[in-house]
């Protein structure tokens, strides 16, 4: 149908046609990757890159050859296959856009992979069910005997008279969704199951979650499409960055993860360790306030709040992890933040999101190249940092994460073999997990405060009462700022930083009367849970007062609000993250009055989301600050 002739297995490649197509599909949905966070790495991925590059080349040459053959034999044919039809379109110029050989190759590739993968799966599943249910098989055979008879085979024209066959096929497709999760985009504002869906939002239609059931309903909005088969490709790409690293976030539950996790919680995220960075945090936050004040200095200046917050967060992270700030150029001439952002963007590369799992491999070489490049940059950078720390030895008073881990390595106190590669893996985890998340949470909370000036005023009033206008906020004030606590909770509820989190069932269990088999992959849809109208009245609204007098907390005990997850895989840095978010929001709101630029009304401020590791704002948050304290910053 596509090429006008059958291709022998060896024509595409010595491995065989079907084997190569299967390999593409397999790479797109490599199952071991589904367990992980978007930014998390898997070991031994470079093999995948090589296979993808290799496959891409094989297909390109094959399709070029087929198009050439068709160009040569064109006028001799009576019936036109897909290639002829597309060559006609190319030559007639009737396409409404520039349509050339590369478009033909792309479409052929999609046809091939989509067609070869899907229909046989459906047929295979339906036959499986028929074998599992002999009475259905019998009933279908009976219908066939009556309609077709035993004297001839089935013709296409018989199909419309085969009602039971129709039911069997429908039921097979229902039970075994061939493409279980399909990405779509809302073309107009609409309401589905009482969720308001904005025009342009990305929606994941979940036909089944990997267990064969739908646990939390529709995965709405622009989540990182982890449930989506196409996302597997995105994950493959990001995983390549940490290909040589064996990090914690991506590790499966088991002794390796347990050891790494224990090491991090005991040494990096203990209360004592978090407190040891308190004065560093104070200095950095005050520096930002000072620079904002100097920048605006009695004029009304629009500042890029998103950039300020992300820069402060990057500095705080570098100081805590590496013991010094890294200038933008230290990691690479492209700049530190730009590179971390690139990791994030590659994880959610938009051209892949639009496709089905099996599509898009064609344009992978550019991405692969960028990933390999990034992987090397990060590795060199981390090696350099460890070397610097080894050289400067014991001269330091306060220990950053690298010192702490070198101590562990040298003392041999880790319960497992702990070497440089483990240090690099943890450092990478910390960088990626810390850079995007806290800054995103702060950005969303400030967005909501700007959209709700009465909440901003009420928070400022609390700050005036508890802290006063004669000084800045200190970390020790935080426990007395109850309204701040409600504002932060509500911000984290409405804007789940990590909206969709994958887990794996470690034993057979039953959830909401769904049986979940041991080993099944389950997507926890925090976004849907935190906006569930059955739990939260007016879930789409920003209403901090909903927490007044409520005992619901955000530390993983109350399952309706889990911004940091729950249980043994919950965020190990939760305590630190809460302090950071509360302190920075409080300081910015306490030190400045904020106004939107160009006379924009609060309700006009957009809440469009950017698809990435953390679901941040799509557009930078811009606002005009006016200093309001009675002391000089
Ligand atoms: C507001 C900020 C943050 C939010 C909302 C957040 C949220 C989360 C969530 C939802 C998870 C997964 C939980 C699950 O699997 O159920 C997670 C895991 C993790 N987070 Fe955070 N996080 C934040 C900040 C941080 C920071 C600052 C760091 C490091 C300095 C960090 C390090 C990690 C690590 C290492 C894991 C993986 C733990 C494991 O797999 O055992 N997070 N975080």
Which one has a higher pLDDT value, 488 or 413?
488
Average pLDDT of the residues in 151-160: 83
pLDDT at 117 over 80: no
pLDDT value, residue 419? 85
Bigger pLDDT: 52 vs 540: 540
Residues within the annotated binding site for heme? 571
> What does the alpha-carbon distance between residue 466 and residue 488 come to, in Å, rounded to a whole number?
17
Confidence tier at 551 by pLDDT (50, 70, 90): very high
In angstroms, rounded to a whole number, what is the distance separating the alpha carbons of residues 404 and 507?
36
Helix, strand, coil percentages for the chain (3-state, nearest 5): 60, 10, 35
Q: What is the mean pLDDT of residues 491-496?
A: 96
Report CA(570)–ligand 1 centroid distance (Å). Answer: 7
Q: Where are the alpha helices (DSSP H) in 277-419?
A: 278-296, 305-322, 328-331, 336-347, 350-353, 365-392, 401-411
pLDDT above 50: residue 219 = no
Q: Which residues contact 22 (CB under 8 A, 6 or more apart)?
A: none
Ligand 1 site: residues with CB under 6 angstroms?
248-249, 261, 429-430, 433-434, 437-438, 441, 497-498, 501, 563-565, 569-573, 576-577, 581
Task: Over range 565-583, report the average pLDDT.
Answer: 93
Question: Which residues contact residue 530 at a Cβ distance below 8 angstroms, ignoring those fewer than 6 apart?
Answer: 493, 494, 496, 536, 539, 560, 561, 562, 563
Asked whether the predicted pLDDT for residue 561 surpasses 90, the reply is: yes
Ligand 1 pocket test target in 573, 579, 580 with most atoms within 8 Å of CB = 573
Cα of 572 from ligand 1 centre, angstroms: 6
Nearest CA to ligand 1 atom 23: 437
Atom 40 of ligand 1 has which residue's CA nearest to it?
249
537 pLDDT above the threshold of 50: yes
The fraction of the chain above a pLDDT of 90, given in percent, is 32
**pLDDT over 60 at 206, yes or no:** no
Q: Is the pLDDT of residue 218 over 60?
A: no
Comparing 152 with 234, the larger pLDDT belongs to 152
Number of helical H runs and strand E runs in the chain: 22, 13
Local confidence band at 431 (pLDDT 50, 70, 90 cut-offs): confident
Per-residue confidence at 203, pLDDT binned at 50, 70, 90? low
More confident residue, 212 or 375: 375
Alpha carbons 105 and 64: distance in angstroms, whole number: 8
> Which H/E stretch holds residue 23?
helix 17-28
Number of C-beta neighbours around residue 478 at 10 A: 17
- Going by pLDDT thresholds of 50, 70 and 90, the confidence category of residue 43 is very low
Protein residue with its CA nearest to atom 17 in ligand 1: 571
- Distance (angstroms) between ligand 1 centre and the Cα of 85 equals 52
Which of the pair, 616 or 84, is modelled with greater confidence? 616
Counting Cβ atoms within 10 Å, is residue 282 exposed (0-12), middle (13-18) or buried (19+)?
middle
Ligand 1 atom at minimal distance to the Cα of residue 317: 30
Range with the poorest average pLDDT among 40-49, 198-207, 592-601 = 40-49
Q: Which atom of ligand 1 is nearest to the CA of 581?
A: 1
Domain boundaries, the chain: 233-627
CA angle 297, 301, 307 (to 5 degrees): 105
Q: Pull the structure tokens for residue 620.
A: 């930078």
Residue 497 C-alpha to ligand 1 middle, in angstroms? 10
pLDDT of residue 323: 86
The mean pLDDT value of the chain amounts to 77
Query: Of 276-280, 472-476, 496-500, 541-545, which gets the smallest average pLDDT?
Result: 496-500
Reduce the DSSP state of residue 184 to 3 states and report it.
strand
Of residues 308 and 28, more confidently modeled = 308
Question: Mean of the pLDDT values across residues 72-92?
Answer: 76
Q: According to the per-residue pLDDT averaged within each range, which of 352-366, 477-491, 557-571 is highest?
A: 477-491
Atom of ligand 1 nearest to the CA of 568: 41
Point out the least confidently predicted range of 166-175, 373-382, 559-568.
Answer: 373-382
Most confident of 38-52, 297-311, 393-407, 464-478: 464-478
What pLDDT is recorded for position 233? 35
- Please determine, for residue 443, whether its predicted confidence score (pLDDT) is greater than 60: yes
Higher pLDDT residue, 78 or 311?
A: 311
357 within 8 A of 25, measured Cβ to Cβ: yes
Residue 42: pLDDT over 60: no
What is the spatial distance between Cα 253 and Cα 569, in angstroms, rounded to a whole number? 9
Sign of CA dihedral 152, 157, 163, 168: positive
**What confidence score (pLDDT) does residue 512 get?**
83
Q: Are 273 and 410 in contact (CB under 8 A)?
A: no
Q: Tokens 């009367």, residue?
A: 513
Can you tell me which atom of ligand 1 is nearest the CA of 562? 10
Q: Which two tokens mark 67?
A: 């198009």
Q: By alpha-carbon position, which residue is closest to atom 43 of ligand 1? A: 571
Q: Per-residue pLDDT for 224 more than 80? A: no
Confidence check: pLDDT of 553 > 70: yes
Q: What is the 8-class DSSP label of residue 543?
A: -
pLDDT band at 477 (very low <50, low <70, confident <90, very high): very high
Mean pLDDT of 204-221: 36
Assess if CATH 3.90.1150.10 describes domain 233-627.
no
pLDDT in tens, 287-346: 999 999 998 877 889 999 999 998 899 889 888 888 888 766 666 776 777 776 676 666
Q: Compute the distance from residue 554 Cα to the ligand 1 centre, in Å.
A: 13
Cα–chain center distance at 112: 28
Banded model confidence at residue 569, pLDDT cuts 50, 70, 90: confident
Q: Using alpha carbons only, give the angle 501, 502, 506 rounded to the nearest 5 degrees.
A: 135
What spacing in Å lies between the alpha carbon of 180 and ligand 1's midpoint? 28
pLDDT in tens, 175-188: 876 655 555 566 67
Stretch 68-89: mean pLDDT? 76
pLDDT per position as a tens digit, 88-104: 888 887 766 777 788 77
Distance CA 453, CA 430 (A): 35
């Amino acid at each position: 149908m596509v090429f006008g002739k059958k291709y022998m297995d060896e024509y595409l490649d010595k491995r065989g046609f079907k084997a190569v197509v299967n390999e593409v599909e397999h790479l797109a949905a490599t199952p071991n990757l589904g367990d992980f966070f978007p930014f998390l790495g898997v070991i031994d991925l470079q093999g995948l890159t090589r296979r993808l590059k290799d496959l891409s080349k094989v297909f390109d040459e094959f399709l070029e050859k087929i198009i050439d053959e068709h160009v040569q034999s064109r006028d001799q044919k009576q019936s036109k296959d897909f290639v002829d039809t597309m060559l006609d379109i190319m030559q007639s110029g009737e396409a409404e856009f520039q349509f050339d050989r590369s478009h033909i190759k792309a479409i052929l590739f999609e046809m091939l992979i989509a067609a070869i993968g899907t229909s046989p799966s459906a047929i295979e599943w339906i036959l499986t069910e028929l074998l599992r249910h002999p009475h259905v098989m019998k009933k279908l055979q009976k219908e066939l005997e009556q309609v077709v008879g035993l004297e001839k085979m089935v013709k296409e024209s018989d199909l419309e008279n085969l009602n039971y066959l129709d039911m069997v096929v429908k039921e097979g497709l229902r039970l075994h969704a061939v493409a279980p999760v399909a990405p779509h985009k809302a073309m107009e504002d609409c309401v589905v199951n009482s969720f308001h869906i904005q025009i342009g939002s990305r929606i994941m239609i979940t036909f089944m979650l990997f267990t064969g059931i739908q646990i939390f309903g529709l995965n709405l909005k622009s989540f990182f499409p982890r449930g989506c088969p196409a996302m597997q490709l995105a994950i493959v790409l990001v995983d390549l960055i940490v290909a040589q690293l064996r990090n914690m976030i991506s590790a499966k539950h088991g002794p390796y993860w347990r050891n790494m996790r224990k090491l991090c919680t005991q040494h990096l995220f203990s209360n004592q360790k978090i407190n040891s960075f308190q004065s560093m945090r104070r200095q950095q936050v005050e520096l930002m306030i000072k620079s904002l004040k100097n920048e605006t200095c009695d004029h009304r200046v629009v500042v890029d709040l998103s950039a300020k917050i992300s820069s402060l967060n990057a500095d705080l992270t570098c100081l805590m992890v590496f013991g010094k700030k890294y200038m933008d150029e230290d990691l690479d001439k492209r700049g530190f933040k730009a590179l971390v952002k690139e990791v994030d963007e590659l994880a959610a590369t938009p051209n892949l999101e639009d496709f089905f799992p099996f599509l898009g491999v064609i344009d992978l070489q550019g991405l692969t190249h960028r990933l390999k490049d990034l992987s090397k940059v990060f590795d060199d950078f981390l090696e350099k940092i460890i070397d610097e720390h080894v050289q400067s030895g014991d001269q330091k008073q306060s220990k950053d994460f690298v010192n702490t881990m070198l101590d562990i390595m040298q003392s041999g106190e880790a319960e497992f073999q702990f070497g440089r590669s483990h240090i690099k893996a943890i450092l990478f985890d910390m960088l990626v997990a810390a850079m995007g998340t806290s800054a995103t949470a702060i950005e969303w909370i400030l967005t909501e405060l700007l959209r709700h000036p009465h909440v901003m005023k009420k928070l400022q009033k609390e700050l005036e009462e508890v802290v006063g206008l004669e000084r800045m906020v200190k970390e020790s004030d935080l426990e007395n700022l109850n309204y701040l606590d409600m504002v932060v909770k509500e911000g984290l509820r409405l804007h789940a930083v990590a909206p969709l989190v994958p887990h794996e069932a470690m034993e057979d269990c039953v959830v909401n009367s769904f049986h979940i088999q041991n080993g099944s992959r389950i997507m926890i849809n925090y976004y849907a849970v935190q906006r569930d109208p059955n739990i939260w009245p007016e879930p789409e609204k920003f209403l901090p007062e909903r927490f007044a007098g409520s005992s619901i907390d955000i530390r993983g005990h109350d399952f309706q609000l889990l911004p940091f997850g729950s249980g043994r895989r919950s965020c190990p840095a939760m305590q630190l993250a809460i302090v950071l978010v509360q302190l920075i929001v409080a300081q910015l709101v306490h030190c400045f009055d904020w106004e939107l630029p160009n006379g924009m009304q609060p309700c006009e401020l957009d809440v469009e989301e950017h698809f990435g590791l953390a679901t941040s704002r799509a557009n930078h948050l811009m606002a005009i600050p006016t200093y309001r304290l009675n002391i000089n910053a």
